Amino acid sequence: MNASPLTLTKKHHSCVRLDKDGQALVIDPGGFSGEDEAVGADVLLVTHEHLDHFNEDRLRAAMEANPAAEIWTLRSVAEQLAAAFPGRVHTVGHGDTFSAAGFDVQVHGELHAVIHPDIPRITNVGFLVDGAVFHPGDALTVPEQPVDTLLLPVMAPWNKISEVIDYVREVEPRRAIDIHDALLTDLARPIYDSQIGALGGSDHGRMAPGERTGL
């Protein structure tokens, strides 16, 4: 694990920003994210093509604001951006590793979780950053190594709370922080907080958009 400390900023829905040594990495600036939440990133990671995780306009704005910024993502997203940013969009898949702007990244997972048997599954990858923070995208992928901080998809059309709790138990992170939460109402949040916190076996918390924490 890299010795330099990381700072996590929760953005909207599944979008998060990690900062270290003056460099920034942003994951999944999608259509539920703020328009400028990817701007300022040196590294951009996209887990899959669904609109709440991938928004072409937000990525273009970030790439144009920083000519040194680069994107790492799976093929279905890379094909939509590569022509506009030659040499700056990289295709990755399960088992790949790379370093970018001082961040070390491992790629885990291959498929989106099942929404319904009648809906074809698309590809999905998760990203483990600096051996510490894991963003699974829309899947319950368990990395083959310990995870300190799990970014937990807490509310989605493809999951239920028992699966979320069992996922925390299987990964066994030191702490789990909610993502994929735009569909979770304020009325339901205390129920999710208490049940995941009591049954998951790890420290569990949620952050408001814009809130930061050290890792």
The domain tally of the chain equals 1
Quick check: is 103 in a domain?
A: yes
DSSP one-letter code for 6? -
Quick check: is 1 in a domain?
A: no
**Structural domain boundaries enclosing 27:** 7-214
> Hey, what are 179's tokens?
């993502």
Considering the entire predicted model, what is its pTM? Answer: 0.95
Quick check: is 187 in a domain?
A: yes
Please provide the DSSP assignment of 90-114 as one string: EE--TT-EEEETTEEEEEE--BPPP
CA distance 119 to 18: 33
The whole-number pLDDT of residue 34 equals 87
The whole-number pLDDT of residue 4 equals 81
The pLDDT averaged over each successive group of 10 residues in the chain (215 residues) is 81 97 97 92 98 96 96 96 95 97 97 96 98 98 96 96 98 98 94 96 95 93
Quick check: is 2 in a domain?
A: no
Quick check: is 89 in a domain?
A: yes
CATH number reported for the structural domain that contains residue 168 in this entry: 3.60.15.10
The whole-number pLDDT of residue 126 equals 98
